[in-house]
Amino acid sequence: MPIVEPSLVTVKREEKLELDGIDVSGDWNTFLEPRVHTDLDLKIVDWVRSQPQGETISRCWQCGTCTAGCCMHTDYGLEEFNPRYFIYLAQIGYEEELRKYAQTIWRCVSCNKCVERCPKGVKVEEVVHTIGTYLEVSGGAPESPADRFDRAYTENLLARGVLDEAALFRTYERLEGRKTPARDLLRLGFTMLLSGRLHTGPFAHRTRGWRRMRPVLTKILEEEERARRARVEAPASRARGGSPGRAP
Amino acid sequence: MNPVLVLGGGPAGLSAAAELASLGAPALLVEKENYLGGNPKRWHYSLLAPDLKPAEEVLGELLRKVEGNPRVETRLETTVTQVEPAGKGFRVSLRTRETLETREVGACILATGFDHFDSRRKYEYGYGRYPDVLDFKELEGMIHDDRILRPSDGAVPKRIAWILCVGSRDLQVGNTWCCRMGCAVSIKQAVEIRQKHPEIDAYVYYMDIRTYGLWEDLYWKSMQQYGVKFIRGRIGQITMAEGGKRLVATGEDTILSRPTEVPFDMIVLASGMEPGHGTQEAAKLFHLPVGPEGFLTPKVADINPVDSGIPGLYLAGAATGPKAIPDSVTEGMGAALRAFQYARD
Ligand code: SF4
Ligand code: SF4
Ligand code: SF4
């Protein structure tokens, strides 16, 4: 069956091609793009190892015990959340593949079952977060709905020091282009009104002294973000190989 | 010439005593249990990997050389409670339940062996709680008697799983080393069962398969001739399903990158080897250094693996680390020869 999706193939037309005396002119390369993986870059694993929470990554031998018991993977059933696989991709330096999970990786609920069970003493939960941090700060990940929500949430909170839930809801709808049916809106508004959370717009609550507190908080957040980026951009020049030593 | 004390009546100790006797030297074989043959005897090992030779045949050969041999004095249910230097050799106190006796010996061979890991310590596998989770040494007995029946209800199992590296290569239980024989023995068991009962399906969950050296042949045969199946992933926990009737092994199939929760009728744990109680006692008694793993350490392991570093004191078998029976037998011979040379003049 020919492949009709043009993005999947690069067609090469051979006007006149003969192989061993047989005429094989025509369209060539109408196959899928090769799936062979050809690039490995150990920058990521070096960086993860250089972080205090990430140094146990080099102990992992891919047994899968962590994934076997992982709340997200097994109990919640989020198949693409697979801590063993994240560690593997980081270990061999397959960043391109790892990037596909830049969002999923944050779904870890920090239950620490993986840490409890890992036979090699890998601090799986911390390592997974460290990998996530790398992916996030080193950039390149397309913004996901979760990212946009996070940003909207922070901005909303920073505005007055108290969350304006109704406003957040409106922003979220706008950002994601969603429309909630009027009936649901009414019911939601009514519930919020009853529970005293419908202080929005001009009636929104505000934290006392927020005008002075806000710049301080903003500055701290900015500094933290800068520090995080700096850490990724200048990975510690720790030598490769070897292990961080025996477990305590 | 004073006798050479051989402490421990497993394969290494039996081999040492037999070898001393054949050299014309008297041996004093001391065993704390009331039988000779060590762990293989205690757990009724069935066939020994890799040649699938009956354990009785291998042990029997050694036992025949020792039992009734006028040069070997065997003392069962006896422990050594005290040791002090005496001339070139040692003066040792031998204690039984009723008696205490002091003997002079020309040299000592410690063949105090190993203990199987107590699988209850790997609580997430439910050993001791679920009757159908077996330790592989218990399965040895079943295979030996050809009674492969599910302990909970006596039914013939349809599907059995083996879990490798239980209590080995595992920081959570503090045992970092590889047991060396768990893979080979599990695969051997699966082969034995498939040989006699091809209707039973056999699956092995593994991280690595370490059928080292010539044992690899067994691994190949298990797949090619006997259809044993291998799944790469370490089981995280064993639970109960079907109203407490069937076990479920929960893990990740790391090749599929997917969780697996497969029901089994029986699950067999390949429990590892730990320094035996006797080995720990011997270390204290003789003030011997032990390695970080708790096994006795030869002075120069690569050149002279049977030499303890203390003149007249030799080591053999699994007391110095996990070892297969042929290796233990070889070390028993080596230690016997060294002890003989030392005690002779
Ligand atoms: S801590 Fe995170 S990675 Fe570990 S088992 Fe829990 S959800 Fe999974
Ligand atoms: S349990 Fe530990 S060693 Fe096994 S795959 Fe997970 S992190 Fe790696
Ligand atoms: S021999 Fe096999 S079962 Fe035993 S610890 Fe080594 S890898 Fe695991």
| pLDDT greater at residue B250 or residue B52 | B250
pLDDT digit string, tens, across residues A56-85:
998 999 999 999 989 998 888 888 999 999
Q: Is the CB of B169 inside 8 Å of chain A's CB atoms? A: yes
Least confident of A61-65, A187-191, B105-109, B301-305: B301-305
- DSSP three-state, residue B203: strand
Q: Provide the 8-state DSSP code for A6.
A: G
A127 in ligand 2 pocket by Cβ < 6 Å?
Answer: no
Neighbour count for residue B281 (Cβ, 10 Å): 16
SS3 content of chain B, % helix, strand, coil (to 5): 30, 30, 40
**Rounded CA Rg of chain A:** 25
pLDDT the model gives residue A247? 38
pLDDT digit string, tens, across residues B326-336:
999 999 999 99
> Which residue type occupies B184?
A
pLDDT the model gives residue A4? 60
pLDDT the model gives residue A203? 79
Give the confidence band of B58 by pLDDT, cuts at 50, 70, 90: confident
Gap between the Cα atoms of B314 and B338, Å rounded:
8
Residue of A87, A82, A5 whose CA lies nearest to A44: A87
User: What separation in Å is there between the alpha carbon of B49 and the centre of ligand 3?
Assistant: 14
Work out the minimum CA distance from A23 to partner chain B, whole angstroms: 42
Q: What pTM, to 2 d.p., does this model score?
A: 0.77
State which residue of chain A sits closest to B232, comparing Cα positions.
A63
Atom of ligand 1 nearest to the CA of A115: 4
Residues of chain B with pLDDT > 70, as a percent, come to 100
pLDDT digit string, tens, across residues B210-253:
999 999 999 999 999 999 999 999 999 999 988 888 999 999 99
Work out the minimum CA distance from A149 to partner chain B, whole angstroms: 30
pLDDT digit string, tens, across residues A136-146:
888 766 677 87
User: Which single residue is written with the structure tokens 């003392």?
Assistant: B75
Cα dist. B226→A217, B188, B210, B218, B253 in Å? 68, 11, 19, 10, 22
Q: Can you tell me the mean pLDDT for A2-28?
A: 76
A126 in ligand 1 pocket by Cβ < 6 Å?
Answer: no
pLDDT digit string, tens, across residues A189-241:
889 888 887 888 777 888 889 989 999 999 999 998 888 777 776 554 444 44
Gap between the Cα atoms of A183 and A172, Å rounded:
18
A85 in ligand 2 pocket by Cβ < 6 Å?
Answer: no
Burial annotation A125-161 (CB, 10 A radius, 16+ → b, else e)? bbbbbbbbbbbbbbeeeeeeeeeeeeebeeebeeebb
Give the helix ranges, DSSP H, for A13-64. Answer: 43-50
Cis status, amide bond into A244, omega within 30 of 0: no
| pLDDT greater at residue A6 or residue B120 | B120
pLDDT digit string, tens, across residues B112-146:
999 999 999 999 999 999 999 999 999 998 998 89
Q: Which of A56, A72, A74, A114 to mutate to test the interface with B (most CBs of B within 10 A)?
A: A74
pLDDT digit string, tens, across residues A147-191:
788 889 999 999 888 888 888 988 988 888 888 888 998 998 889
Gap between the Cα atoms of B134 and A98, Å rounded:
40
pLDDT at A3 over 70: no
B273 in ligand 3 pocket by Cβ < 6 Å?
Answer: no
Neighbour count for residue B215 (Cβ, 10 Å): 21
pLDDT at A248 over 60: no
A61 in ligand 2 pocket by Cβ < 6 Å?
Answer: yes
Torsion-angle region of A239 (φ positive above 0: left; ψ -120 to 50: alpha; else: beta): beta
* ipTM (interface pTM): 0.75
Cα dist. B16→A80, B25, B44, B300, B332 in Å? 57, 11, 22, 20, 4
Domains of chain A by residue range = 43-142, 145-229
Residues of chain B with pLDDT > 90, as a percent, come to 84
pLDDT the model gives residue B319? 96
> Which residue type occupies B81?
T
Cα dist. B44→A196, B47, B180, B323 in Å? 74, 9, 19, 18
Q: Which ligand is nearest to the CA of A110?
A: 1
Residues of A in contact with B257 (CB under 8 A): 82, 85
Cα dist. A173→A149, A166, A169, A187, A205 in Å? 10, 11, 6, 17, 22
Average predicted confidence (pLDDT) for chain B: 93
pLDDT at A18 over 90: no
What chain B holds in terms of domains, given with CATH numbers, is 4-113+276-344 (3.50.50.60), 117-272 (3.50.50.60)
**CA-proximal residue: ligand 2, atom 8 (nearest):** A60
State which residue of chain B sits closest to A113, comparing Cα positions.
B236
pLDDT the model gives residue A51? 93
